[in-house]
Amino acid sequence: MIYFDCNATTPVLPEVLEAMLPYLRDEFGNASSVHQLGQRSRKAIEDARAQVAGFIGAEPSEIVFTSGGTESNNFAIKGALAAKRIPGKRVVSSAIEHSSVRDVLRFLSDTGQIDNVIAPVERNGIVTPEAFRDATTDDTFLVCLMSANNETGAIQPMAAVAESSRKKGALVHCDAVQSGGKLPIDVSALGADTLALSGHKFGAPKGTGVLYVRKGTRLASLIHGGRQERNRRGGTENVAGIVGLGRAAEHAKQALGAEAVRIRQLRDLLEGLLMKQVPSTLINGDREKRVGNTTNVCFEYTDSSAMVMALDLKGIACSNGSACAAGSPDASHVLLAMGLPQDKAHASIRFSLGHMTKEEDIKAAVPLIAETVSRLRKSNPLWAQAAKQ
């Protein structure tokens, strides 16, 4: 299998698994127990909290462990709503947010709890600070913006948006799930009050996540029933998963240099070969302001769902958008927000590389992709017409 779907999930790193194993076998104590076995689990959690804090430039007391990015985004948005002191109901977000932000805001809007205002994006998939500034009024209590888009990799102007939003008294939430392990994250520089991460995007196990909560930020809890996570999130902690998340954060911080450059070079090689060997191929989004592992490619006159299935049969794993939207017949809301017509949005594939990707994977995959595109186009009458022109 040639795996080009790292934005959906990554394999657990060997050193992460090694760090977790003791807490799946002998160190099974409940971290809330006062005996030695429990307190060793407590220490492991606090060590991991310090590792994650160091990864994003936070204080350990500002780190809340969750089950993943979706819970963290829900926690930030619903917690801010429940704890807000101003009468305003306005929330401003971008048109390209992940479903774990987008669907929450739609639900809260449909139930009359908020006024959901969506800022547009440019054709390159990047919002402008001006769009957020114009949409943010005095009755805005929350602004939500992802730091990097999961489908195109486009990096958003988080710091500029946060600065203008906080001047108007709004809390700022950043979905940084697709930045973890790909970009340096400094919560002070970003200016966010809350920030979400998901461990399985950078080598930790699934079911692990983080919500950073800036010191002094009012946020109501979503899960009650215990005093865990400084009364932020009740429930017995996933000690092994948290330990793995801490080790993955430590690894990601160390690998952001040469490894990030290597992956970006492989991504550029993939794009270059595809553009050379497959006619009528376009790269969606900004070519420069994006994370280094991601490319979103439009193979005109094809269908992305058919492409993904056909490539899977050839041993290539990729996707036609967010994993959370898999199976939907609708075109990507991200690509449509960027102004792509329906036919091009339906013909677009996301390839996302990772630490396991090698140059030979790229060179082996491109001929298979070219062959698949050519075969699918033969059944499209519009391609025959376009090829004659």
Tell me how far apart the 2 most distant CA atoms of the chain are, in Å: 78
Give which of 203, 291, 278 is closest to 248, Cα–Cα: 203
Supply the DSSP string of 63-132, one letter for each residue.
EEEES-HHHHHHHHHHHHHHH--SS--EEEEETT--HHHHHHHHHHHHTTS-EEEEE---TTS---HHHH
Report residue 279: phi and psi, to 5°. Answer: -70, 160
Catalytic, 144? Answer no
Element (H, E) at 349: strand 348-352
Alpha-carbon distance of 30 to 238, in angstroms, equals 9
Which of these is catalytic: 144, 174, 298, 324?
324
Q: From CA 310, how far away is CA 317, in angstroms rounded?
A: 10
The pair of structure tokens assigned to 156 is 């958003």
| Contact present, 91 and 140 (Cβ < 8 Å) | yes
The set of catalytic residues is: 324
